[in-house]
Chains A and B, each alone.
Chain A
Amino acid sequence: MDKRAVFRSWWLPTAFALPQLALIVLFFYWPAVAVVRWAFTLEPPFGGSAEFVGLANFREVFADPLYWNSVLVSLTFALAGTLSTIFIGLVLALAVDRQLPGSGAVRFLYILPYAIAGPAAGLAFRFILSPERGLMASVNSVFPDFWNPARYGSHALILVIVVFAWKWAGYTFIFLLAGLQSVPTSLTEAAAMDGSGPIRRAIDIQIPLLAPTLFFLSVVMMTEGFVGADTYGIVARTTDGGPNHGTDVMVYRIVEEAFRGLNYSGASAQSIVLIGLIMIFTFIQFRFIERRVHYK
């Protein structure tokens, strides 16, 4: 889908695009190349020349059971986060789309959590769902240790997933509502003429027509769960990857490895694996919903 009316010049567009391209090359491509370089070399963090070590970094990473633990944690986190955000977003979007009195107000409110930074939300939930105070303390006083994210890795993982779901449910809600509103009313009206009620209509007509949006959102949320900016922030500020590596998601591990463990090569090797994963997601997205990016 090329514009027909185009100006003819090569230097002008180049000059216009140059500032951003320069930034992108400097802060994107140059580092991206460095990741690859480091992944295959072993470089002392402070000075000294890098030595090519082939796949040794990868072998070391893959040999570490804690790495596989982080893969499993990330996978659980991303899957549970994706499913819960989409489920909540979908239910709320279907409800709001019925446009009963008052839905405008709740629509406004549902989006608000999205404005909150992951780490800030994480901090707040550390209190809200703390075992000693906040909402869960009453439950714990009846059933001791029923809920203790500071002690049990599984509880901590649930906690970070809750924070993730709280923040992102409003986001999926926006997209699903936009998707629902683009379903022609004539379709739902036709179904109503055929005698189907609101819930039937949701299941038979609206949700099938939302399939592209649902698919798009699941890819976006999976990517977000694996590498999103908030994923790192949530984990760092809520549980610090613990307890006992119970919430040690892949991004968190990479940053820890690099900046606390000063193991740039190991971190880069892990980054490469993660990049591979994202590329698979992006490829899937392209393959199945090319309409998302019309670049021709």
Chain B
Amino acid sequence: MIQRTPYADAFTYGLMALGFLLLIGPFAVIVAAASQTMQQVNAVPFNFLPQNQLIANMTAAWTRADLGTAMLNSFVMASLVTIGKVALSALTAFSIVFFRTPLKHVFFWIVFITLMLPLEVRVVPTYAVAADLFEPIRLAIAWATGITVSVEWNLLNSYAGLTLPLVATATGTFLYRQFFLTLPDELAEAARMDGSGPARFFIDMLLPLSRTNMLALTTIMFVYGWNQYLWPLLMITDPAYKTTMMSLSSLVPHENALPDWNVTLAGALIIMLPPLLVVAVLQRWFVRGLVSSEK
């Protein structure tokens, strides 16, 4: 469309610049502060120019908050959540979409309802379940036989405890379901005519066709897993399992300690980097996953 609108164009650029300042400005402040000395970072007015202390501050933060362990744990946690979600949701969505059985509606609703209650509002009992995973089975045994078994099995301080409850939600399932519904009916029919059964169809057709979908889900789930805060805080007491979000607290300058915000922000920058990279590099997939998982 050819239309000369110089004023509107200038106004548009003004808005875009303002948006840039608001949304990207904080990153600039973080980077500048993380590269300054303690004196510089506490100076008034704030100096927006980055200095040469970035590596030194990052090293200091790395040792202070034991970021090596935390980064590894966060990476394992995010990866497990991602893999679990990508795999299990595909299976569930397949059984909800491609079968002619009344059960599929039951499955659909069982999964769908989980959209309504995020982990945060049921965090207390979910924690209780993870702390005493055997309880349902114990209750069942007690109810059926009258025998009280005193087996305890908890997920505290374990990768299973960190990840399993986060896999138990519906997001991924719906992403796959949306995609499966766009496939023409004839694809499954042609496969059936060619002699393929449902499992074969899933492996030969659906999985390869879902590749972009899986990539989209992977980006979302990785960011989601990496950014978990409350749940690791509850599940983990053993420092060997602590995640990056938990180490944030050991980065904050204490009330009466030195206000070395340069180190704090350098550490925060390290922690922010992995999801930031994922979103930046795989932005196309990330946006696609985000938009279609919510519809």
Report which A residues bind B (CB closer than 8 A). Answer: 1, 3-10, 12-14, 16-17, 19-21, 23-32, 34-35, 38, 88, 91-92, 94-96, 98, 100, 102-103, 106, 108-121, 123-128, 130, 132-135, 137-138, 141, 166, 169-171, 174-175, 178, 185, 188-189, 192, 197-199, 216, 220, 223, 227-233, 236-237, 251, 254-255, 258-259, 264, 267-268, 271, 274-275, 278-279, 282, 292-295
Q: Which B residues are CB-close (under 8 A) to A16?
A: 91-92, 94-95, 202
Cβ-closest chain B residue relative to A264: B124
Count of B interface residues, CB-CB < 8 Å: 114
Query: Judging by beta carbons under 8 Å apart, are B264 and A127 in contact?
Result: yes
B280 to chain A, nearest CB (A): 7
Q: Find B272's partner among A8, A14, A120 (CB 8 Å cutoff).
A: A120
B253 to chain A, nearest CB (A): 9
Cβ-closest chain A residue relative to B101: A10
Query: Judging by beta carbons under 8 Å apart, are A282 and B226 in contact?
Result: no
Question: Which of B42, B98, B167, B280 lies at the interface centre, i.e. has the most chain A CB atoms within 10 A of its CB?
Answer: B98
A82 to B5, CA, bound (A): 32
A127 to B13, CA, bound (A): 29
Query: Judging by beta carbons under 8 Å apart, are B198 and A27 in contact?
Result: no
Query: Judging by beta carbons under 8 Å apart, are A24 and B268 in contact?
Result: no
A274 to B286, CA, bound (A): 30
Q: Which B residues are CB-close (under 8 A) to A188?
A: 1
Confirm or deny: B201 has a beta carbon within 8 angstroms of a beta carbon on chain A: yes
Cβ-closest chain A residue relative to B186: A5
A295 to B178, CA, bound (A): 10
Query: Judging by beta carbons under 8 Å apart, are B287 and A95 in contact?
Result: no
Q: Which of B49-57, B107-115, B143-151, B210-218 contacts A (4 or more CB under 8 A)?
A: B107-115
The A contact surface, by secondary structure, is helix
CB contact list, B76-98 vs A, under 8 A: 88-89, 91-92, 94-98
Q: Find B189's partner among A5, A12, A264 (CB 8 Å cutoff).
A: A5
Q: Which B residues are CB-close (under 8 A) to A5?
A: 98, 185-189, 192
Q: Which A residues are CB-close (under 8 A) to B59?
A: none
Query: Judging by beta carbons under 8 Å apart, are A178 and B99 in contact?
Result: no
A125 to B268, CA, bound (A): 11
B161 to chain A, nearest CB (A): 10
Query: Judging by beta carbons under 8 Å apart, are A26 and B168 in contact?
Result: yes
27 pairs, A vs B, C-beta closer than 8 Å? A3-B188, A7-B198, A13-B95, A13-B104, A27-B164, A30-B125, A31-B126, A32-B122, A91-B19, A110-B23, A113-B23, A116-B276, A119-B245, A127-B30, A133-B43, A138-B45, A138-B46, A166-B23, A188-B1, A216-B294, A229-B118, A233-B227, A254-B121, A258-B124, A259-B234, A264-B124, A268-B124
